[in-house]
Amino acid sequence: MATLYSPQSQAGIMSFYDAPTKGPLINPKIMIAVILAFSVVIMVADKLSLL
C-alpha cells in the first residue's frame, strides 16, 4: 500500500511555513493569553446580559 505523503511534499510544506514574513512576530503564549482573556470577557458579559 502506498503512503499518502513523501519527503518531498513535507519539505515543501516546511519551507512554506518557515518563509520569512514582513508582519509582526507575536509570541504564541501572548496570543493564547489574549484569546483566553477575550473569552472570559465574553462569558462574563453573557452572564451579566450585556450582549
Predicted pLDDT at 40: 96
pLDDT tens by residue, 1-51: 555 555 555 555 555 555 667 778 888 899 999 999 999 999 999 898 865
Supply the pTM of this predicted model: 0.53
Q: Given this model, what pLDDT does residue 29 score?
A: 94
Per-residue three-class SS string for the chain: CCCCCCHHHHHHHHHHHCCCCCCCCCCHHHHHHHHHHHHHHHHHHHHCCCC
Q: How many residues in total does the chain contain?
A: 51
